[in-house]
Each structure stands twice: as C-alpha cells, then as structure tokens.
C-alpha cells in the first residue's frame, strides 16, 4: 500500500506555510543563535526593538489591570435585559405622550421671543425622556445598580403631565 507521496514530498509540508524558513521571522531565541540581537536596547531592557511600537498598556501593571478589567466584565443577565426593555418602552411612551401633549397646548403669548422660548421648552420636553434614557445608559455602563436607580428616577420625574391632564391646563 502506498501513501501517495511518491515524488519525495514530505508529509510535514502540508502543515507549513510558504516562507516559514524566512530568517527575518526568527523568534528571539533563534535570533540569538544566528548572531542577531533580539532588540536594539538589549534583552530584558523592556524596550521594543528598533522600529517597533508598543500598543496597549505600556507597563506590566497597566496590562494586568486591563486584563483584570476584561475578566470582570460580566454579560448582562436576562432579568437586566428585560428590565432595560421595559424601561426603554416606558421612555418611548413618555416621548410619545409629550409629543401628543405638546401638540395640544395652545401658545399663550403673542411676543415672538416668548413664543420661540415656549416652543423650545415644549420640544425639549418632548426630547427629555429619550435623552434621559440614552445619557443614563451611557454614563452608568460600569454601574448597573445606579443605572436602574437613575432610570427609575427618570420614570418618576418625566411623566408627561400635559398628556395626562389634558389640554387647556396651561393658560
């Protein structure tokens, strides 16, 4: 029975890449054997070879802190995701409520500046729930308990009173 390698090919050739024998790809130990230096500053100096740049943390302490931070990142639990979805839905309904409520309000002034300021305040009120949710989500990435606390505070503070109380309350 023949192996199919009658041309004298080596079976290990299938496991190699073209250019594996390139001397510029030698590791530090192999470079020392060939007479080349592993780095221009000398081995163990902590300096990268000439022409190289360090990416990531520059010191071992920073590298360990970055690795620890990456290891402590925990995936968001199912309960947290469902809660965020519920809060997102509440804030979406609040935005819609403020939009409908702002459309019902009659502008009480005839001065151009006062009218502009009143309209600006109405549209900022419409945008407030969406902005509150986005900013809370962004600023409390590392503190999930604080995130839910601030989202709950926003649910209480941003109730669309103009929608709930009906038109004609502001006169």
* Domain spans, the chain: 19-72, 78-165
pLDDT at 153: 94
pTM score > 0.85 for this model? no
Least confident of 39-43, 57-61, 125-129: 39-43
**pLDDT higher than threshold 70 for residue 114:** yes
Alpha helices for 20-143 (secondary structure H): 28-33, 60-72, 78-104, 112-139
The mean pLDDT of the chain is 75
Of residues 130, 139, 46, the one with CA closest to residue 95: 130
Q: Using 50, 70 and 90 to split pLDDT, how confident is the model at 165?
A: confident
- Determine what percent of the chain is predicted with pLDDT higher than 90: 25
Confidence of residue 80 (pLDDT cuts 50, 70, 90): confident
Judged by average pLDDT, the poorest of 38-52, 59-73, 109-123 is 38-52
User: What confidence tens digit (pLDDT) does each residue in 6-37 have?
Assistant: 555 566 666 667 666 666 666 655 444 544 44
């Amino acid at each position: 029975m023949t192996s199919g390698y009658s041309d004298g090919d080596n079976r290990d050739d299938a496991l190699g890449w073209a250019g594996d024998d390139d001397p510029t790809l030698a590791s530090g130990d192999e470079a020392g054997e060939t007479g080349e230096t592993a780095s221009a500053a000398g081995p163990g100096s902590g300096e990268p070879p000439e022409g190289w740049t360090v990416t990531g943390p520059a010191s071992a302490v920073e590298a360990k802190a970055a690795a620890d931070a990456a290891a402590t990142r925990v995936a968001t639990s199912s309960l947290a995701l469902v809660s965020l979805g519920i809060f997102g839905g509440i804030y979406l309904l609040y935005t819609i409520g403020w939009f409908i409520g702002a459309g019902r309000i009659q502008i009480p002034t005839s001065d151009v500046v006062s009218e502009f300021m009143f309209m600006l305040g109405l549209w900022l009120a419409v945008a407030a729930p969406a902005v509150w949710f986005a900013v809370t989500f962004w600023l409390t990435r590392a503190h999930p308990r604080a995130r839910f606390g601030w989202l709950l505070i926003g649910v209480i503070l941003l109730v669309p009173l103009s929608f709930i109380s009906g038109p004609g309350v502001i006169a």
